Amino acid sequence: MRLTLALLLIALNWIHDVAAEDPQGPKESKTIGELIQRIRPSVVTIRVNGRDGDELAMGTGFVIDADGLIATNLHVISEGRPFSVELPDGRKLPVVSIDSTDRAGDLAIIRVDVESKPLPPLTVLEDVIAQGTEILAFGNPLGLRDSVVSGIVSAVRDIDGREMIQLAMPVQPGNSGGPLVDMKGNVRGIINMKSAIDDNLGFAIPINQLSPVRERTNPVAYDRWVTLGTIDQESWTPLFGATWQQRGGIISARGVGSGFGGRSLCLAKSAEPSLPIEVAVDVRFDDDSGAAGLAFHSDGQDRHYGFYPSNGRM
């Protein structure tokens, strides 16, 4: 009887030891802190610069392949803007190309040079995420680097003809392009936009929408990407920073200039037309804080003449 009991105890201890040593133990048992430490090395900061080198915006991306593929939103890198990719430890990864993009889906995949140091890719789970699932969002909200916020999935719904994950959590500029991760460490979505209705409401793109983009590669070299839509320097002279672009006969500016009040100019080099002439400008603001218009003369510095409709007034 004693021998049988001893053998039983030995057997129970052996089972306990095997379970404790199992490296595939249930991931749900990990603390949130441990999960964050496991995900963070795969999340990158994307800094977008103007042509004068000043930083215009900050976004997020995450590693999907050890050889240097980074997923993000297309609007984070935009077109014609120089940008950089930086790991949490400060290491900057040279951008080789933009491997593929989906304009309608607001998705982009960047290829970086890992310099013989493979990156830790995140695990992607393409199953439909359930309402009420606990999730974490990684990113750089309002420029606050390496931030994490927790929340739940409010719903999966159709937004403008595309399936989106509705989130009950604060999402801010800078979170865009970051991974939406479940409590097992699987990427379930890509943070996409902040709600204009409530600060505690945001949306993410389901991760299964990234697969077709990854399969449909059409690489554009980085050097070519940053020149897409650039101003014809023989016809125009941009002044005071900002990012000026020219496409389909339309000239547009992004970002804040270094001139008075954040002003930036783009002056024509063509010969002065004979008088009288008619000119017109269409102005569209993201908010009421800006101004735009036509300049008729400039000394190339802070003195210029024209008109600037601002907030419905001249």
Which residues are catalytically annotated? 75, 106, 176
DSSP per-residue codes, 222-282: HHHHTTTTB--TTTEEEESEEEEEEETTEEEEEEEESSGGG--EEEE-SPPPPSS------
The 10 Å CB-count burial string (b at 16+, else e) for 141-179 is beeeeebbbebebbebeeeeeeebbbbbbbbbebbbbbb
Give 78's contacts (C-beta < 8 A, 6+ positions apart). 48, 254
Geometric angle at alpha carbon 127, from 123 and 132, rounded to 5°: 100
The 10 Å CB-count burial string (b at 16+, else e) for 292-310 is beebeeeeeeeebeeebee
Q: Tokens 């890509």 map to which residue? A: 190
3-state secondary structure of 102: strand
Two structure tokens written together for 273: 């037309």
Query: Of 308, 128, 296, whose CA–CA distance to 208 is shortest?
Result: 128
**How many CB atoms are located within 10 Å of the residue 246 CB?**
16
Please answer whether residues 246 and 232 qualify as being in contact, where contact means their C-beta atoms are separated by less than 8 angstroms.
yes
Q: Tokens 């936009």 map to which residue? A: 193
